Amino acid sequence: MDLIQKALAEGRTMLSEFEAKQVLAAYGLPVTREYLVSTRDEARDAARKIGGPVVLKGSDALVAHKTEKGWIVADVRNEEEAVQAFDRLTGLPDGPRQVLVQEMIRGKRELVVGLTRDPQFGPSVMFGLGGIFTEILRDVAFRVAPLTKADALDMMAEIRGHKILDAVRGMPPADKDLLADALVGVGRIGLEHPEVQEIDVNPLILDGSRPVAVDALIVLKKD
Amino acid sequence: MDLILQQKLNRMFSPRGIAFFGGVNTPASFGHLVLLSQMRYGYQGRLYPVSEKGGTVAGVPILKSLAEADGPVDLAAVSVPASAVPEVLRQCLANGVAGVQVHSSGFGETGEAEGRRLQDELKAIANQGLRIIGPNCFGLHSPAGGITVLPGSDFSKEPGGLALISQSGGVATDFGYEAARAGLRISKAASFGNGVDVDAATLLEYFAHDPETKVIAAYIEGVPDAGRFLELLKATTPRKPVVVWKAGLTPLGRRAAQSHTGSLAGAADLWTGALRQAGAVSVQGLDEMMDALVGLHYFRNRGSRVALVGGGGAIGVYSSDLAYRHGLDLPAFSEETQAELRRHFPTPGNSMVNPLDTGTPVLDLKILKNICRIVLEREPVDLLLVILLLRPIEREINNFMTMMGLPVPAAGSYLEALVEPLAGLRGETGKDVAVVLDNRAHLAQDIEVEAVARRVAPLFQARGIAVFSDAKRALGAVRLARRS
CATH assignment at residue B476: 3.40.50.261
Of A114, A121, A142, the CB nearest to B260: A114
**pLDDT-above-90 percentage for chain B:** 80
Question: What is the model's pLDDT at position B261?
Answer: 58
Which residues are CB-contacts of B342 (< 8 A; sequence separation ≥ 6)? B352
ipTM: 0.83
User: CA-to-CA distance for B184 and B294, rounded, in angstroms?
Assistant: 7
- CA-nearest residue of chain B to A155? B273
Domain count, chain B: 2
Contact B161, B212 (CB under 8 A): yes
Residues B179 and B216 occupy one common structural domain: yes
CA distance A119 to B292: 30
Lowest mean pLDDT among A168-172, B6-10, B268-272, B457-461: B268-272
Same domain, B325 and B227: no
* Number of Cβ atoms within 10 Å of the Cβ of B362: 17
Higher per-residue pLDDT: B269 or B297: B297
CB contact residues (below 8 A), chain B span 127-156, against chain A: none
Residues B134, B52 share a domain = yes
| Together in a domain, B306 and B266 | no
* Residues B86 and B160 placed together within one structural domain of the fold: yes
Domain check: are B234 and B105 in the same one?
yes
Give me the pLDDT at residue B461, please. Answer: 98
Residue from A65, A113, A121, A159 to probe the interface with B (highest B Cβ count within 10 Å): A121
**Whether B315 and B282 share a structural domain:** no
The CATH-assigned architecture of domain A2-30+107-220 is 2-Layer Sandwich (3.30)
Please compute the mean of the pLDDT values over residues B412-416 and round it to a whole number: 96
Contact list in A for residue B251 (CB cut-off 8 A) is: 119
A126 inside 8 A of chain B by CB: yes
Question: Closest Cα of chain A to B297: distance in Å?
Answer: 26
d(CA B438, CA A14) in angstroms, rounded, equals 60
Check pLDDT > 70 for residue B469: yes
Residue B145 predicted with pLDDT over 50: yes
B249 touches chain A (CB under 8 A): no
Per the CB < 8 Å rule, is A120 touching B276? no
Judging contacts by C-beta atoms under 8 Å, the chain B residues touching residue A154 are 276-277
Q: Is some CB atom of chain A closer than 8 A to the CB atom of B238?
A: no
Give yes or no: residues B288 and B313 share one domain: no
Note down the domain range covering B339.
301-481
CB B62 within 8 A of CB B49: yes
Q: Which residues of chain A have a CB within 8 Å of the CB of B260? A: 112, 114, 134-135, 200, 202
pLDDT at B257: 41
Query: What does DSSP assign to residue B393?
Result: I
Examine the domain organization and report whether B281 and B383 are in the same domain: no
What residues of A are in contact with residue B256 (Cβ under 8 Å)?
none
Which helix (H) or strand (E) is B341 found in, with range? helix B335-343
A112/B261 Cβ within 8 A: yes
Cα–Cα distance, B150 to A139 (Å, whole number): 44
Mean pLDDT of chain B: 92
pLDDT confidence of residue B264: 62
Q: Which fold has domain A34-103?
A: Dna Ligase; domain 1 (3.30.1490)
Using CB atoms, pick whichever of B250, B258, B260 lies closest to residue A202. B260
Sort out which chain A residues have CB atoms less than 8 A from B250's CB and list them: 119-120
CB pairs under 8 A between A and B: 91
Chain B residue at shortest CA distance from A148: B277
Task: Look at strands A110-118 and A122-129 and give their pairing.
Answer: antiparallel
Q: Do residue B140 and residue B278 come from a single domain?
A: yes
Locate the domains of chain A by residue range: 2-30+107-220, 34-103
Same domain, B277 and B346: no
Q: Answer whether B265 sits within 8 Å of A219, measured CB to CB.
A: no
CB contact under 8 A, A200 and B259: yes
**How far apart, in whole angstroms, are the C-alpha atoms of residue A101 and residue B57?**
86
Cis peptide before A203 (omega within 30 of 0): yes
Q: What is the pLDDT of residue B183?
A: 98
Residue from A118, A124, A219 to probe the interface with B (highest B Cβ count within 10 Å):
A118
For range A126-139, the mean pLDDT: 91
Which residue is closest to A127 within chain B, CA to CA?
B261
| Predicted pLDDT of residue B266 | 64
Q: Is B334 on the interface with A (CB under 8 A)?
A: no
Burial class from Cβ neighbours inside 10 Å (0-12, 13-18, 19+) for residue A105 reads buried
Asked if the C-beta of A151 comes within 8 angstroms of chain B's C-beta atoms, the answer is: yes
- Closest-CA distance, B294 to chain A, in angstroms, reads 25
Looking at beta carbons, which residues of chain A come within 8 Å of B253? 119
What pLDDT, in 10s, does the model give residues B358-379? 888 888 899 999 999 999 999 9
Q: How far apart are CA B366 and CA B371, in angstroms?
A: 9
Checking if the pLDDT of B252 tops 60, the result is no
Nearest to B382 by CA among B482, B306, B484: B306
pLDDT exceeds 80 at position B60: yes
The DSSP annotation for B39-83 comes to HHHT--SEEEEE-TT--EETTEEPBSSGGG-SS---EEEE-S-GG
Residues B348 and B279 placed together within one structural domain of the fold: no
Q: How much is the average pLDDT of B408-427? A: 96
Indicate the pLDDT class of residue B313, thresholds 50, 70 and 90. low
Rounded CA-CA distance B1/A135 in Å is 43
Per the CB < 8 A criterion, the answer to whether B100 and B92 are in contact is: yes
